[in-house]
């Protein structure tokens, strides 16, 4: 029996540019930046004082206040994004067999704000004052778990933790669940809320973040010669993945067909990518093979594009290795140039943005591309959106530890 086909029928975005798909898309096409000085705490003592905060999110719009208070912010994002995506898909889960509905929402870090708060209470007031909700709010599976509880979805449910590849891996695993007939509907994506003092201090200690504090909107500059690190951000992206025949039967709007999923590991270093792009090459080639398409069919690449020295060079090397001379003809852009790095949510958000490129036949820009880097010499769609016929997209996500994921989708005819 041939594997079942998977299509995307619902989308949601929560990013530093706003809450909602169309608001995000409009700002991305205009090249707006969502990066600013951190406001949730005083960043004055940090070498990096900027980030991509979600400023207009009200959890009461999406869930019961009492339940929300028992969730870390990343889990609140998960539940809200799932509800928005289901609304966009026109799906009422009460009309489905709950055993056929799966939830796959990953997170790279999970409830670190809860960890920091409860550790402070532990030190100041003693062990008996730590909240009984500490562990259930902290652990990274609670984005997926709280979403399933809120929706009554009793099918497969787990949370992938693979650093910055978590969201992409989650959507890729959703494809496998659909193909194998283990679910008819999968709520998949990633969520992250880790703009906290301790997290910021840790990334600052690694020298991983941009220190362009006086020009936050210009701090994230993937592939630009003057890039100096990534920008820490928060948010979520969730898609509704459905089995094709089920989606067609209910007359669903289809954003695209999910056709390819590649995975690999650099097995090289805890933070740095393998210099020759070996893991990224294997990942993209695996996704192309899984999709059953040729390299010539790819119309657009949404790069991992973090704005770090090593990542941007390595990804460029990998793309050229996979696509050869054609690499110079494929438009490539980095969503992170405008929203920063959403860590475990990044892959899901960027895949969603890629689907919008298919929908509207337009590619969003890589902003802040001002000084060409001779080692990054591809077409990064600098600073201005571009109309282009986009039938097939490839989206890359590469995480600390060498975790790699590539997703491929195509226009559904």
User: 287-297, pLDDT tens digit by residue?
Assistant: 999 999 999 99
Nearest-10 crossing angle of helices 166-179, 346-360: 70
- Nearest C-alpha neighbor of 54 from the set 198, 193, 159: 193
- Nearest C-alpha neighbor of 405 from the set 283, 272, 302: 283
Q: Which of 183, 216, 249 is the last residue of a domain?
A: 249
CB atoms < 10 A from the CB of 38, how many? 22
Q: Are residues 72 and 156 in the same domain?
A: yes
Number of structural domains the chain divides into: 2
Q: Which of 220, 249, 278 is the last residue of a domain?
A: 249
Q: Are residues 178 and 324 in the same domain?
A: no
Q: What are the beta bridge partners of residue 261?
A: 407
Q: Which of 249, 272, 303 is the last residue of a domain?
A: 249
Q: 199, exposed or middle or buried, with CB in 10 Å at 0-12, 13-18, 19+?
A: buried
Largest CA distance in the chain: 64
Q: Are residues 242 and 274 in the same domain?
A: no
Q: Print the domain residue range for 326.
A: 260-410
**Is residue 361 helix, strand or coil?**
coil
Q: Are residues 353 and 278 in the same domain?
A: yes
Tokens coding 104:
């796959």
Q: Are residues 283 and 345 in the same domain?
A: yes
Average pLDDT over all residues of the chain:
97
Q: Are residues 312 and 243 in the same domain?
A: no
Q: Are residues 237 and 320 in the same domain?
A: no
Confidence of residue 1 (pLDDT cuts 50, 70, 90): confident
> CA distances (Å), 169 to each of 95, 110, 127, 383, in order?
28, 16, 37, 29
Identify the pLDDT of residue 413: 87
pTM score of the predicted model:
0.97
Q: What are the beta bridge partners of residue 162?
A: 164
**Is residue 252 helix, strand or coil?**
coil
Average pLDDT over residues 21-37: 98
In a domain, 254, yes or no: no
> CA distances (Å), 10 to each of 83, 187, 239, 247, 391, in order?
10, 9, 5, 11, 18
Confidence of residue 100 (pLDDT cuts 50, 70, 90): very high
Residue 2 has pLDDT above 90, yes or no: no
Identify the pLDDT of residue 134: 97
> CA distances (Å), 116 to each of 40, 119, 138, 190, 355, in order?
14, 5, 10, 21, 36
Average pLDDT over residues 338-346: 98
DSSP state, 276? T
Q: Are residues 264 and 245 in the same domain?
A: no
Q: Are residues 11 and 60 in the same domain?
A: yes
Half-sphere exposure of 108 (CA within 13 A, CB side): 30
Query: Which positions are annotated as active-site residues?
Result: 164, 304, 341
Provide the CATH number for the domain around residue 91.
3.40.47.10
Using an 8 Å Cβ cutoff, are 89 and 240 in contact? yes
Apex 111 CA angle, 107 and 117, nearest 5: 160
Q: Are residues 235 and 371 in the same domain?
A: no
Q: Are residues 236 and 369 in the same domain?
A: no
DSSP state, 164? B
DSSP state, 258? E
Identify the pLDDT of residue 70: 95
In a domain, 1, yes or no: no
């Amino acid at each position: 029996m041939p594997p079942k086909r998977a299509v995307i029928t619902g989308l949601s975005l929560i990013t530093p540019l706003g809450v909602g798909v169309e608001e995000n898309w409009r700002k991305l096409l205009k090249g707006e930046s969502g990066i600013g000085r951190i406001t949730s705490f005083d960043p004055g003592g940090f070498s990096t004082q900027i980030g991509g905060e979600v400023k207009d999110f009200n959890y009461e719009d999406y869930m019961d206040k009492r339940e929300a208070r028992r969730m870390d912010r990343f889990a609140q994002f998960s539940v809200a994004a799932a509800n928005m995506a289901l609304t966009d898909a026109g799906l009422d889960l009460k009309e489905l067999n709950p055993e056929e509905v799966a939830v796959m929402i990953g997170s790279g870090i999970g409830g670190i704000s809860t960890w920091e708060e409860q550790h402070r209470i532990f030190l100041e007031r003693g062990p008996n004052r730590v909240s009984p909700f500490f562990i259930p709010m902290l652990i990274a599976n609670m984005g997926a778990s709280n979403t399933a509880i809120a929706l009554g979805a009793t099918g497969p449910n787990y949370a992938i933790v693979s650093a910055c590849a978590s969201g992409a891996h989650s959507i890729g695993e959703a494809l496998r669940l659909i193909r194998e007939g283990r679910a008819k509907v999968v709520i998949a994506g990633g969520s992250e809320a880790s703009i906290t003092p301790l997290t910021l201090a840790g990334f600052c200690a690694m020298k991983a973040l941009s220190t362009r504090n006086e020009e936050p909107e210009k701090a994230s500059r993937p592939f630009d010669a003057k890039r100096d690190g990534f920008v820490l951000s928060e948010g979520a992206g969730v898609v509704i993945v459905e089995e094709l025949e089920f989606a067609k039967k209910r007359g669903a709007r289809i954003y695209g067909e999910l056709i390819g999923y590649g995975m690999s590991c650099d097995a090289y270093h805890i933070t740095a990518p393998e210099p020759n792009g070996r893991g990224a090459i294997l990942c993209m080639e695996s996704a192309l093979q899984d999709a059953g398409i040729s390299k010539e069919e790819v119309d657009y690449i949404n790069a991992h594009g973090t704005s770090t020295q090593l990542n941007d060079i390595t990804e460029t090397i990998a793309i050229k290795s996979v696509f050869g001379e054609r690499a110079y003809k494929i438009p490539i852009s980095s969503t992170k140039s405008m929203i920063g790095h959403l860590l475990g949510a990044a892959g899901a958000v960027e895949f969603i943005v890629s689907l919008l490129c298919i929908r509207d036949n337009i590619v969003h820009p890589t902003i802040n591309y001002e000084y060409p880097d001779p080692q990054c010499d591809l077409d990064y769609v600098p600073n201005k959106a571009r109309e282009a016929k986009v039938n097939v997209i490839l989206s890359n996500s590469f995480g600390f530890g060498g975790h790699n994921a590539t997703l491929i989708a195509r226009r559904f005819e």
